[in-house]
């Protein structure tokens, strides 16, 4: 996918105050593209006057950033201890089968990205599934199936 350089310049320029704005500039780029294109790291580095290695270090240090394109819907399954013992591995298996991808992958149509996380800090509600920052607690295989069907229906794919 060709990324318009002028679009990236525009996003970065809105955030460009000083060196400290690298994180906010990259956040805005990621919000727009759902990942950080290589071109964005290079341009942010140049525009903000920080070494490319520093821009890359920021992009790879924070889990919120991704160097790979993500889907329109990012599904995160908590695999922390409380969620694990309450069934998160079964939820992961179910979603991997439904979307025909493994954790860490995105569907070819770029609609769904499936991720696992170590802990979401809501252990009493486990197992937890998060879709684009919307938490669903006490998830079961049945609730997960309904969630996936709702997302698929929303996209007109049913």
CA distance 129 to 135: 6
Specify which residues 115 forms β-bridges with: 76
- Are 143 and 114 found together in one domain? yes
- Are 136 and 95 found together in one domain? yes
Query: Which residue range is the domain that position 33 belongs to?
Result: 5-61
- Are 85 and 147 found together in one domain? yes
- Are 144 and 90 found together in one domain? yes
CA distance 122 to 21: 31
The two tokens of residue 7 are 């679009």
CA distance 158 to 155: 8
> Tens place of pLDDT for every residue, the chain, 158 residues?
567 677 777 877 776 665 558 888 899 899 888 899 998 899 889 888 889 999 999 999 988 899 999 999 999 999 999 999 999 999 999 999 999 999 999 999 999 999 999 998 889 999 999 999 899 999 999 999 999 999 999 988 87
- Are 83 and 108 found together in one domain? yes
CA distance 27 to 33: 10
Nearest to 48 by CA among 75, 85, 21: 21
- Are 50 and 80 found together in one domain? no
pTM, entire model? 0.79
* CATH number, domain with residue 112: 3.40.30.10
Question: Can you state the angle between helices 38-48 and 52-61, rounded to 10 degrees?
Answer: 130
CA distances from 9 to 28, 39, 67 (A): 11, 10, 18
CA distance 124 to 135: 13
- Are 12 and 42 found together in one domain? yes
- Are 84 and 125 found together in one domain? yes
């Amino acid at each position: 996918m060709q990324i318009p350089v002028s679009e990236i310049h525009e996003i970065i320029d809105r955030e460009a105050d000083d060196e400290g704005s690298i994180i906010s500039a990259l956040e805005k780029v990621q919000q727009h593209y759902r990942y950080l294109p290589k071109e964005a790291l290079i341009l942010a580095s140049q525009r903000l006057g920080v070494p490319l290695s520093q821009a890359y270090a920021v992009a790879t240090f924070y889990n919120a950033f991704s160097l790979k394109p993500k889907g329109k819907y990012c599904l995160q399954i908590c695999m922390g201890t409380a969620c694990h013992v309450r069934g998160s591995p079964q939820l992961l298996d179910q979603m991997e089968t439904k979307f025909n991808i493994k954790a860490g992958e995105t569907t070819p149509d770029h609609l769904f990205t499936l991720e696992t996380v170590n802990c979401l800090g809501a252990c009493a509600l486990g197992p937890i599934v998060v879709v684009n920052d919307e938490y669903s607690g006490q998830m079961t295989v049945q609730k997960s199936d309904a969630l996936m069907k709702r997302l698929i229906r929303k996209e007109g794919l049913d």
